[in-house]
Amino acid sequence: MDLSYGEAAEAFRKEVRGFIKQAWQPGELRGAELKDNIRAFRRAAIERGYLYRSVPKRYGGSEQPVDVIRAQVIREEFGRARAPMEVGGNGVNMTVPTLLEKGTEEQRELFIRPTIEGDYVWGQGYSEPGSGSDLASVRTKGELSADGSKWIVNGQKIWTSQGMQATHMFMLVRTEPDAPKHDGITYLLMDLNQPGVTRRPIRQMTGEQGSHTFCEFFFDNAEAPVSWQVGERGQGWYVSRTTLKHERASIGSADGLGSQFRKLVELAQEMGRIGDPLVRDRLAEIEGRVLSHRYTSFRLFSCAAAGEDPGAVPLLMKLLLTEIGHDIALLAQDLIGEEGMTEPVGAGGQGPRGPRGPNKWLDQIMGSLGNSIAGGASNIQRNIIGERGLGLPRDLAMSAEK
């Protein structure tokens, strides 16, 4: 297996590395100064064609031709130097690609630049109480105003990541109550800083609550302009599939899985269990799956570089990442034993959750359960793999609804 990128790619790597060395010098900056430094660095990187390569220049991107090898070199070099990559979150990963594919020119002009610059933070308004993986059963209602210029929204959304920071939301609302459930949904964009929108943080089983966790939203005659409707009225289900495609692609990335495994080995050493034959067997099994996932990502990378169709393989990546992460968490749980009985927090139950001992794994252990739901439940993903990848018959219940 030849894992080299070729002479042209290595020459490009030197160029990227030189740019980072010259442009990324954060030093001891903190707070507002660091944020300004990061913003300036990203702008310089865009000018060089390193960031937001798929976004046209008129929307704030660098508008580069598709080149998966160059994109990979950029990721590797920025990661090595810990230099700021593109703004993270739903906005860049989901909203921007959806608008580029399905949005109007007005929507692209209005939303893409502030999103990639980090001024707009997007929450995902899909899940509702009693409507999780069955996305088409949403009940939040959208009705046109008397003059037909805006949608009036009433209902509730739940499990919104970055909910406390979110400035906007892309959401599914039911606008045709008498239509078949997949055909009566409209995809809307909404400003969350308006009367009629209430957000509440959700306290999780980790004890974490606040700015970095989930929120639930309540809408009481909240408004969204009709011009902020993405796609045709009643066709939001099909627009949402575009968004979910990008979410599953980002969740399915192999980046980080190897790091989790190395930390698991360190935990086994820390707990004095690295010599236990049973532990070593489990570590070997997990490592085999981690490497398999990594080499499959190489296969996908090679297909993309050669312009070849990888078939159903990409559908597997998110599911496998979830399952391997859960196996890592289960072994960590066995290794920490009674250390996992308590969750330390700051004095008086408040304050930062900073560095701690073996029970630092508790968030990973509990979070591994949530990952089997995020971006589509694992069983739903298996259905997608079976039906779209293997050509198996659709679920009988779904067929009966059509």
Catalytic residues: 247
**53 three-class SS:** coil
Pairing label, strands 150-160, 215-225: antiparallel
Q: Which of 367, 366, 286, 365 is nearest to 332 (CA)?
A: 365
CA distance 357 to 336: 10
CA distance 297 to 269: 29
CA distance 98 to 126: 15
Contacts of residue 18, Cβ cutoff 8 Å, sequence gap at least 6: none
Q: Which of 268, 278, 385 is nearest to 322 (CA)?
A: 385
Contacts of residue 191, Cβ cutoff 8 Å, sequence gap at least 6: 167, 168, 224
Q: Which two structure tokens, joined as six digits, stand for 171?
A: 């959401």
